A and B are shown apart, each in its own frame.
Chain A
Amino acid sequence: MPLLEAQHVTKRFGGLSAVRGLDFTIDQGSIVSVIGPNGAGKTTFFNCVAGFYHPEEGQILFDGVPIHRLRRDQIAHLGIARTYQNIRLFAKMTAIENILVGQHFRLHGTWVGAILNTASVKAEEVTSHDEARRLLRFVGLAGQGDVMADKLPYGDQRRLEIARALATQPKLLLLDEPTAGMNPAETARMTAFIRSLRDDLGTTILLIEHQMRVVMGISERIAVLDYGEKIAEGTAREIQTNPRVIEAYLGSGGAADVPGQEKGQVDVQPETGS
C-alpha cells in the first residue's frame, strides 16, 4: 500500500481552482518531487497534505487513513511533518527550543509534574534535550543549541527547520523548496543531506523544488503540475523529454534549454506561492 495517496484532490479559492483533480501516490521510502511553473499549485497541494487547507473534493489517505479533514496536529501525530517555503522558525526561541517543540507530542510530562519537578519529568527533560542535541549534530548545527533562531545564518536556519520537523519522528517529510536562496555548494550539501534522510532514517520525502539539478539528482519520481493539474509523472529522464512539460515551462515553440540539462543554470527563481 502506498504511504500517501491523493485521490482527485481539488482545492478552490473563490472561483479559482488552485489544484484540480489531482491523483498522486507516494511509496514508502521513496523520494518524490513535485515541480511546475509558479502558480501551478505545488504549495497548495502541500498545504492540503499537511492540513493547512482542506480540499473541496477528493480525499487524501495516509497509511490508509483519510487525513484531508483532520486538524494539523492530528496529522502530525500520524507522522507527517513539513518545512516552509519562507522559513517559519520560532524566531525568539533558541535552536534547541525549536527542536524541543517538535518533540512536544512525543513527550508525556504533564504541567503538574512540571510544577512539582517530579523525577519522571526531570528524566524526560534530560532525554529530550539529549535527543535534540543529537538532531542538531545530525543536521550539522552541533553546539549551536543556545543560539537564537533568528540569529542563525540562512542555510543553518533551513537545516534547523528540517531538524525541527524530524523531531516529530515523521514517516513522511514534506520539504518546501529547501534549497531556495542557496549557492551551488550549499545546494549540493543539502541534496546529499536530503538523500541521507531517506537512506539513514528511512523517511519518505516529498519535495517541492525549482532547482532542476536537485530535482533530477535525487528524485526517484517526479510529478509536474501546471495550472493545478498533473501534466506528467515519471522518472527524471521521462520528464526531461516530455513535450508537455517543456511547453509548460517555456511556452509552446520553446526550443531552448530543457529543464535539467547541465549546461547553463536553469533556475526558475521562486516567487511567493507556487
Chain B
Amino acid sequence: MRASTVDRITEYAIAAFLWALRIVVVLVVVIGSLLTLSSGRYGMDTWSSLIVSGLTTGSVYALIALGYTMVYGILRMINFAHGEIFMGGAFAGYFVGTAFSSMGLLNQGPVVVLLAVAIMIIVAAAFSTVLALLVERIAYRPLRNAPRLVPLISAIGASFFLQYTFRGVFGAGIYVYPDVALLGQRVPIDFLRLRWVDVLVVVSALAMMTGLYLFVMRTRMGTAMRAVSEDKGTAQLMGIDVNRAIVTTFAVGAAMAGAAGVLYSLMFDQVYFFTGFIPGIKAFTAAVLGGIGNVPGAMLGGLFLGQVESVGPTLFLDGFNVPAVNQLKDVIAFTLLVLVLVFRPSGILGERVTAQRA
C-alpha cells in the first residue's frame, strides 16, 4: 500500500535526522571546544569570569524557574506572567533601596549594607507575592478546570497587563539601581574574578533554594503541595485544602522571583518595565531543562543553563571563528532547550506533573 511506504520513509527520515542532529551537536561541542582551547586565545581570567557570570545569572534563573516549575507541576499551566512578578520585585527593591540610599545606609559597613539588602529582598518578595496572588485570584482561579489553552492565553494577557501597568505607573524609563559601593568591590582572592555582589547573589540564592527545598520536603504544607501536584483529586479526598496548596505554591514561587528581581538588578544595576521578559523565558527553559514540576530540577536547570549560556558561545563557537559570539548566547540556550525536549523531554532530573487528565 502506498501509505506504508510513505510511513516507512518518514520513519527513516526522522530516525536519520535525529541521528544527524546528535552527531552535529557532538561535533560542534567537541571540535569547537578543542579549537577554542587550543588556540589559547583566552586565559584563565576570561574563563573564570565567564564561569562566575554563568553562576550568578544561573542562580537568578534558578530562583525564577522555581516559580514556573511549581505552578506547572500543580496546575499544568505555564504562568506567562511570572516574569512580570520578577520585574515587580525588582521595582519594589528599587524604591526601598533608593530610600535607604538617600538615608546614607548603603555607604556604611558590611553589616548595615547586608541588612539593608536583606530588607530590600524581603520587601520585594512580599510585593511579588501580593502581585502574584492577585493575578491568581483574578485571572487563573476561575479557569482551573478549563482546557489548557485557556489559562495560557489568560496568562499572556496578565503578562501584558502587568508590563503596561508598570509602564503606566512608573513610566517607560530605565530606573538605575542605587549604587552599593561595597558590592561592586572585588573579593580579595586574587585568582577569582569575583565581586561581592556575585557572592551575595549565589549565596542568597542557594540559601533560599535550600529553604524552599526543606519547606517542600519537610513541612505539612509542602507535602500537601506535592500531593496536589501528583493527584489533585485524591489529595482532596484525603482532606487536603487544594485551594490553599495552590495559593501557597503561587506565593512561594513569587517570593523567590521577587527576591531574584532584587539580586538581578543589583547585578545589572537597572530595571524597567520590560525587564522580566527575557529572564522569564530563560527561566522557563531552565525549568523544562531540569524536569518540569521538579524542584531540585529547576535549581539544577537554572545553574546549568546559566553556565551553558555564559561559557557556551565562547567555548563552542569561538573556535570556528564565529563573529560576535555573544549575540548567539540565546541561540545556544534555545538550542539546548530544543535538544532536551527532543531527546529527553522529561528533563535532566525527570518531570513531576499532575496525572494526565482522562
Contact of A86 among B2, B3, B358 (CB under 8 A): B358
CB nearest to A105 among chain B residues? B3
Bound form: Cα–Cα A103–B2 in Å: 17
- Chain B residues with Cβ below 8 Å from A86 are 358
| Number of A-B contacts defined by CB within 8 Å | 5
CB nearest to B4 among chain A residues? A77
- Chain A residues with Cβ below 8 Å from B2 are 108
The interface on chain B, measured as residues whose beta carbon lies within 8 A of the other chain's beta carbons, has a size of 3
- Chain A residues with Cβ below 8 Å from B358 are 86, 88
CB nearest to A86 among chain B residues? B358
Bound form: Cα–Cα A134–B358 in Å: 30
In chain B, positions 267-290 with a C-beta closer than 8 Å to chain A are: none
Bound form: Cα–Cα A108–B358 in Å: 31
Beta-carbon contacts of B32-75 to A below 8 Å, as 1s and 0s? Answer: 00000000000000000000000000000000000000000000
- Chain A residues with Cβ below 8 Å from B3 are 105, 108
Bound form: Cα–Cα A88–B358 in Å: 9
Bound form: Cα–Cα A105–B3 in Å: 9
Bound form: Cα–Cα A86–B358 in Å: 8
CB nearest to B2 among chain A residues? A108
In chain A, positions 72-112 with a C-beta closer than 8 Å to chain B are: 86, 88, 105, 108
Distance between A116 CB and nearest chain B CB, rounded to angstroms: 18
CB nearest to A84 among chain B residues? B358
- Chain B residues with Cβ below 8 Å from A105 are 3
Bound form: Cα–Cα A108–B3 in Å: 8
Bound form: Cα–Cα A108–B2 in Å: 9
In chain B, positions 306-358 with a C-beta closer than 8 Å to chain A are: 358
Bound form: Cα–Cα A105–B1 in Å: 11
- Chain B residues with Cβ below 8 Å from A108 are 2-3
Bound form: Cα–Cα A40–B280 in Å: 46
CB nearest to A272 among chain B residues? B358
CB nearest to A73 among chain B residues? B7
Distance between B349 CB and nearest chain A CB, rounded to angstroms: 17
Bound form: Cα–Cα A86–B3 in Å: 31
Bound form: Cα–Cα A105–B7 in Å: 12
Bound form: Cα–Cα A79–B184 in Å: 71
Bound form: Cα–Cα A88–B2 in Å: 30
Distance between A134 CB and nearest chain B CB, rounded to angstroms: 24
CB nearest to A74 among chain B residues? B7
Beta-carbon contacts of B1-18 to A below 8 Å, as 1s and 0s? Answer: 011000000000000000
In chain B, positions 115-152 with a C-beta closer than 8 Å to chain A are: none
Distance between A122 CB and nearest chain B CB, rounded to angstroms: 20
Bound form: Cα–Cα A86–B356 in Å: 14
Bound form: Cα–Cα A70–B2 in Å: 19
Distance between A16 CB and nearest chain B CB, rounded to angstroms: 16
Bound form: Cα–Cα A105–B2 in Å: 11
Distance between B352 CB and nearest chain A CB, rounded to angstroms: 14
Bound form: Cα–Cα A88–B3 in Å: 26
Distance between A197 CB and nearest chain B CB, rounded to angstroms: 26
Distance between A124 CB and nearest chain B CB, rounded to angstroms: 14
Distance between B33 CB and nearest chain A CB, rounded to angstroms: 38
- Chain B residues with Cβ below 8 Å from A88 are 358
Distance between B346 CB and nearest chain A CB, rounded to angstroms: 15
Bound form: Cα–Cα A139–B2 in Å: 32
A-B contacts, 5 of them at CB < 8 A, read: A86-B358, A88-B358, A105-B3, A108-B2, A108-B3
A contact set with B: CB distance below 8 Å: 86, 88, 105, 108
Sort A-B residue pairs by CB-CB distance and give the 4 closest, nearest first: A86-B358, A105-B3, A108-B2, A108-B3
